[in-house]
Structure 1
């Protein structure tokens, strides 16, 4: 009977979740509802599914109470609005009706076309217009008018009575009660960016828009029983039960076949996998063949052939048609089929990876591949996917952000009309204790508590793409975010509940480093590098020595201070240790103490005491410490005797992804019973289980770590043998963990001659020719985008610039932009100093510039003047570089200091001063703030000494002021030299930023 129900998916309008709506309806004895959210169908399938599920779950309880169990009949549609103007509501008669509604809305969203006043013909949709006193149009067969109880007085003599079969009961639902109506007002104020008191009534719902018993609703229309009958007839004719699947796992909605049918897919996948097997392992590798057959059987059983083939096609297009480099990571790297199809470069046999971590016979939720491309190539791959499949069959996965972020407190404060200073104090975590005593803050928090779990806005997933068998529009309308690809209106959790497996097409800058370095090596040195020759890289002693020293700056995943420290503590000099390091560096593992335990056992394996022979055999590689998710599977399988499928189910359940507590307890009991049946004692079983349960929540996939480690080795190889080209590539792909100047410093350390930007040498990005690298125009702060592009384009088209005058005429640059380039030395090829050039440019552009749109017939010269000799100061130029580049290129930060003192000790000699207090001077690189168990702050710092070597500091709360770091610059550090597994650092006792010389320009 309720034809127009809004959930909280009517963003910043509706106030109730799907669950709340259904629970309220059941409480009031309501039998039918139509969910019609505003301009979206986000909750439609969820609403249908939950109505049926709750009905089934409540049935036994209802019978127990002596009540007749009933099912809420769910119907869905969409309410169409322009701004706040209600145009009409569309209600789906059936599944085809949902598709028609979704495609109608999608068309307008994708092509940014305003919704029409009258919708087009939709065969399986009912259209309901809101009643108006002036309503006087002839309605089509599927069109109706909804009238509220309060509007019935206007029916007397109204023309609509000539079509009385078209009148329907209209009772919109938006809020739950008076409290949530107030919440609705807050939401509207936030949406309109105005004060609560200034939200117009027409922008809000009516205060009575909440669910009421059906009997009360029909009573309002007792003088017009035909209206109730019309409404009931309409709802009775709707049937969306096809959307509910009463099974633990929904049927797959992904594209069923890559070829014409399942047999074609099986044949193609087998042929590709067997060919790849020969390429990867050679002929007649019995272990690989057996593993391949096992995987293919499970892939076929789970109807996953098409998923593998579509992923293969994406990778094939990237490699063969585009020449792109990719990384296949995540649990998909556990598959030998994926390895043979070159979806991943991780060898699962070499690393003893379990396919069951990715896919097994009992898996209920679909897995997915994570494929990384370079940050600037991913969009080409995405476009290929969208071009390869029909309209409405491919879309990006959406995301749904909520109001949980404390930033919403600021929004609530604004609509309450609080002054900025008071709002700032409410969002300051250091003032939380005193804020809790503030009545206004308490009111603000009360609103936030109601709001924090509500949907705030729809967005786009980082890389998830859905490819469907039937049109996706059966399940959702599509948005068109700024990214430019159609996007579903729900997130990955709803996608999984419906039955979709996503294809994760992701990006990272590390791949860009590798790709461009290979290109630069070919261009600058004429050498081809096979970056996929990983077996060669992992055996290279030079690479392993650099790992051991912990200095892989610029290399993907292993350059951060924490990772550098770990590599040095482990004396990591091989691939398997790097794989382990990539896992134990994760915050959960480190904070739980497992990282320290692993390092201790790594250095003293002879002292490791294993719980039993099975643990020694299966965890010997990691010294009895569970480092990977696969270790949980190993222990459950080999120790407890669970099959691999059940072992992975238990592993997943322990990571917090299991919804049923009862089912989880059954798995735990199964583990213990099975372990006892293997002959293990009760004490041993309980201890193994304790170790598993304490670790599983922190665990990381070994395949994921291995994928990262492969890429780290590739970066390391390039940095070791082609350091100049590699560091240029890092700079051109916008660096990594550190600020840009750190990578420029690393480039200089390679022996490259790094030059400031020059209008006759530089391009948009950093370039390298031989040993000479020129910084690009992109790094100049304040230089406009158009000039970054025009300067090198004009030079390449019409030859080098002759002088400043020629440059000004050919580029039509503004005075301000020309001054930036002159100050940075970009015209040094003219032989004139910067100050002379500044005089000259004012002669050329010190008046309103006339744009030259054509070549000059005759060269016209400007007047020239005799100038006195103007002195250029090295310190002044360094300050200019600091201002315009963010760092001085040819002048160390230490050279800015007033004092010549550079510390008593350098990094290279720290090992000689263990336990002693030393003074050092360090150039600030970065810092990390952490909270202690007592909720106090401590810091970790990273610095460069005067020799250009890194050292690290620890700042404890009792010896450090509240905010010890004051940005870039050099610091005097007094501290104790400590060592942890061979890694030296400084425990800071005193710490202060050093004074610098004044800029000569400022002195003048």
Structure 2
């Protein structure tokens, strides 16, 4: 590449997050095409994309100039910060930049930005090149505000400290103040003998990208594109200009162009990339790491053997194979240089176990290590379950070991804090992740900026399929979803929306925190990368690089994963100890062969059982009837796309309905537990070892190659395997067939170590569900208090398992769901929406100290008003927490304002914040009476604040209306066989709708499903194509729905049957069909007519809902006046409207049928 004439030193990329659409690889490619061998990246106040840029540019043959556009604190007005760019001249400059950025984000945030103080740049300046900034630089701002003399003083100071590493920037980017700043900078440069440099603030790649960039800026700022008053911060000139354009632009200042090349030459950053560097683990008495891991492993193995084999004779018989395996593993670990890694992991895991932080038994391939088991890193005996060490640490493929460790999610931070105390606060952080603009999100973002209605954006967004494990792009959705393509072709605003969204899709949108990654550095983290914190909270400190880049700079990631199930087990154990303080139960010591626990699996009663909760899995359990942990491990591994096809064969072989076949008699010990089927990756490795003569390390390499479908490598491996198999007595053609079989299974074989550990956790949860049902279910409820749908699911399961869930009660409930016995749970106040934890705890605390509450007024008088609001009290009333004191909820709701007003008045008189109980004892407040709410309204209230209902069933409240259509009870619905010439007969059912979902079929057409419940049973209903486009707008959760359709067998349904709908109707639709007019009669001629109009407006039908006309009749002194509202005033005749009409005093209503009208 020829010597460049100009080099871009300034560029914001998508990693600036708020103000650029530049994708790094595209920029690197364009610069290379321009014949320029270098490029500077100076993202706004970060180097999130710095290492990606550095590695990708070097790979492309482009010199990467890593830097940053710093936000500089304005000491006189913090609302107007300055900007200055720095470039890393060498590794010392890189480390200084890391230090500066870390200090800004962790110690000096203002208005959402980490700000750099100029004094830090004077202190940490070695190895950095400083660019003064364009119009936003401090020198420029001083000049523009008439303070050129101060600007000169500052420029001289900068030159005296930074010498020839300081340049005054000249920018001509089409902004109003650019040319004035150029003149000022040239003048100061001449007076102070400071070199100038031409830079261009790149924000987008091509001139035509300006509109997309403008939208991106609006998204970040919350602006609307059409708003003429919004600030215009960027010009159309801020694209990546060619060298020729830049040379022409600064033809009058050739030195400014030449200095870009000079600066690029001086930036030679090396030493950033590194091999993994572990912190030094402290050992006692100066022992070597090798000796210390030897000592701890042998001591730990002895303890494990005593637990596994309490009988000494049996223990001594088994000991040799354990000792041999331990020595083998230790030899590899020491040879590969990883004792320190194992010691670090065992240290924080054992600290956690000793300090009340629940830790999982293992996760991933780490459970295959006996050393890990001996050090108590894992809790599964790898020899008993034939778990392979080489699957975790392969001596033939040098790479860092990687233990994934599960912690109780509530206490995980305690372990991280321990690690900080052990290795230093500045040596530990979590890891960044970068969220991008996905197809659904970018449609909503762009729609808001363009001013397109939310409903239309939502409609488009819903048409984009959601596929597990895959981000469906807009282009893919347009290609595969005909409904979306049709909408784009027919609606110009949708076409514009999609057209504007496409260029932004996939850009970085926000910063997040890795779910489990924790970095532990050998010294300061800032020697490797800068840190970031969104809120200066020390618990939220993360690296500015993602997990791949932190490894590239030499940092080692330790996985501290939060697993909700461990928290559930921890809560359950706490509840068990509260109910039985003398319990000797220890989860790690429960019997692994408990018949009652396996019966629970066999009947599919596994709601809330880890990994075995889904309807499909529950059916599999009923068919397979597992009776040992090995069965659970196999089912866990089989129930996934791919191996699912093997389930029928597995079940048939298990139950003796089909003969078990082994590809070779020598493989029986390997495949016996899975009835001749290769289920696990470890089995594929064993086959390669036994038949092909591979070492287990070589077999792991073979497994990896098979999984990645590397064609050339597979040809080579096939020859090796067949040759080895023939040498060991197998026919060549049979060896080839076996290799094909292995290749097939390796493509979807599961990691047995992971399945083993997680199945053990599943068994623990099932054991507690069987033997300690209420504590276990209460623990589950505590973890989903913010989800009404999940709570309802758990409560329904409690009823099925004879566990009573008592309703919330102001005098008995606590914040949490608490078991009152082994078969009874009291609903927690935390399960009521709108109840702050502080308020609930204050209520419980006052009750414990001063006795039960007498009524609503007593509660409000005794608890500090700062703890709750009117909304809190109404939520309590709707949830029925006062029912034991006053069953009329309408009466309680009507008196909330009085209770608050009285308590505030008394509090004011007493001259104190808290409410005084003494006066309330003397004067018993009087309740305003109110007509009780209808049963339906009470249920709606419970649902709204709890997500479920306690004192009845929605269907019971509307059963009379449902009965008019004579539906078949759902419990009686059976799948009907189709005859040769006609489809199965139809069935009509009615029930309360829930679990409404929308998805796409294989042709990309919309389909929907929901569940109906009529109190006798539940059934799943599916609607296809155009039908669903109509029905999805009328089917609403917790409302009555009538369905006519065909019942069919459904092996994935909990009841084994589902309905394909042919017609769906709701009461409001039927009422609209059968009623011409809603006739309202006003008894009082002075009735507030505006109140009626407001009521009608609140109940207008949605676009796709059927409406009903409204007429009004007024009686005045025996005379009748009536009129009919126009069609614009139609209402939606649902149950809510009818209930609210009942409560309005002074009116009656009547639905006039078509025959009456």
TM-score (norm 1): 0.85
Residues 1:982 and 1:187: Cα distance change in structure 2 (over 3 Å): closer
- In the alignment, what sits opposite 1:634? 686
State which of 10, 25, 31 in structure 2 corresponds to 1:4.
10
Residues 1:120 and 1:569: Cα distance change in structure 2 (over 3 Å): farther
Q: How is 1:305-324 mapped onto 2 (pairs within 5 angstroms)?
A: 305-324=339-358
Residues 1:957 and 1:570: Cα distance change in structure 2 (over 3 Å): farther
Matched, 1:886 2:954: no
1:631-659 deviation per Cα after TM superposition (whole angstroms, max 9, x unaligned): 34334444444432333234334545x9x
Matched, 1:144 2:166: yes
Find the aligned partners of 2:975 and 2:321 in 1 and give their Cα distance: 48
Residues 1:655 and 1:515: Cα distance change in structure 2 (over 3 Å): same
Q: Is the 8 A contact 1:569 1:981 kept in 2?
A: no
- In the alignment, what sits opposite 1:162? 191
Q: How is 1:414-493 mapped onto 2 (pairs within 5 angstroms)?
A: 414-420=448-454, 423-424=457-458, 426-429=460-463, 431-437=483-489, 444-481=497-534, 484-493=539-548
SS class of match (2:168): strand
Matched, 1:273 2:320: no
SS class of match (1:37): strand
Q: How is 1:585-734 mapped onto 2 (pairs within 5 angstroms)?
A: 585-590=639-644, 593-604=645-656, 606-613=658-665, 616-656=668-708, 665-679=712-726, 683-734=733-784
- In the alignment, what sits opposite 1:801? 853
Q: How is 1:113-512 mapped onto 2 (pairs within 5 angstroms)?
A: 113-114=109-110, 115-116=115-116, 118=118, 119-122=121-124, 123-130=126-133, 132=140, 134=148, 135-136=151-152, 137-138=155-156, 139-142=159-162, 143-148=165-170, 154=183, 158-196=187-225, 203-204=233-234, 207=237, 209-210=239-240, 212-213=242-243, 233-244=262-273, 251-259=275-283, 264-282=288-306, 284=316, 285-420=319-454, 423-424=457-458, 426-429=460-463, 431-437=483-489, 444-481=497-534, 484-512=539-567
Any gaps of 5 or more consecutive residues in structure 2?
1-6, 73-78, 135-139, 173-178, 307-314, 464-481, 1068-1133, 1144-1157
- In the alignment, what sits opposite 2:578? 523
State which of 890, 896, 919 in structure 2 corresponds to 1:859.
919
Find the aligned partners of 1:358 and 1:912 in 2 and give their Cα distance: 52
Find the aligned partners of 1:876 and 1:857 in 2 and give their Cα distance: 33
Find the aligned partners of 1:699 and 1:957 in 2 and give their Cα distance: 35
Q: Is the 8 A contact 1:326 1:511 kept in 2?
A: yes
SS class of match (2:271): helix
Deviates more, 1:708-717 or 1:622-631: 622-631
Find the aligned partners of 2:402 and 2:859 in 1 and give their Cα distance: 54
Deviates more, 1:742-751 or 1:307-316: 742-751
Shift of 1:23: 3.0
Q: Give RMSD over aligned pairs.
A: 4.2
Residues 1:972 and 1:357: Cα distance change in structure 2 (over 3 Å): farther
Shift of 1:495: 2.9
1:424-457 deviation per Cα after TM superposition (whole angstroms, max 9, x unaligned): 5543527312134366655654554443343222
SS class of match (2:329): helix
Deviates more, 1:185-194 or 1:708-717: 185-194
Find the aligned partners of 2:461 and 2:931 in 1 and give their Cα distance: 53
Q: Is the 8 A contact 1:462 1:506 kept in 2?
A: yes
Shift of 1:293: 1.8
Find the aligned partners of 1:183 and 1:74 in 2 and give their Cα distance: 26
1:548-605 deviation per Cα after TM superposition (whole angstroms, max 9, x unaligned): 0001222222122122111112122221111112122234544xx3444444444456
- In the alignment, what sits opposite 2:103? 107
- In the alignment, what sits opposite 2:88? 92
Residues 1:893 and 1:368: Cα distance change in structure 2 (over 3 Å): farther
Residues 1:816 and 1:185: Cα distance change in structure 2 (over 3 Å): closer
Find the aligned partners of 2:779 and 2:1141 in 1 and give their Cα distance: 37
Shift of 1:938: 6.3
Deviates more, 1:518-527 or 1:842-851: 842-851
1:366-417 deviation per Cα after TM superposition (whole angstroms, max 9, x unaligned): 3422222223222322333333322432111111122243321232344445
Find the aligned partners of 1:818 and 1:720 in 2 and give their Cα distance: 38
1:179-238 deviation per Cα after TM superposition (whole angstroms, max 9, x unaligned): 34444333323323334565978622662542534x876687677665566555544443
Shift of 1:148: 3.2
Residues 1:227 and 1:330: Cα distance change in structure 2 (over 3 Å): same
> Which structure has the larger Rg?
2
Q: Is the 8 A contact 2:619 2:1051 kept in 1?
A: no
Shift of 1:786: 4.2
Find the aligned partners of 1:635 and 1:945 in 2 and give their Cα distance: 54
Find the aligned partners of 2:928 and 2:267 in 1 and give their Cα distance: 89
Residues 1:369 and 1:904: Cα distance change in structure 2 (over 3 Å): same
State which of 768, 772, 782 in structure 1 corresponds to 2:819.
768
Deviates more, 1:875-884 or 1:561-570: 875-884
- In the alignment, what sits opposite 1:65? none
Any gaps of 5 or more consecutive residues in structure 1?
56-71, 245-249
Q: Is the 8 A contact 1:272 1:341 kept in 2?
A: yes
Q: Is the 8 A contact 1:39 1:80 kept in 2?
A: yes
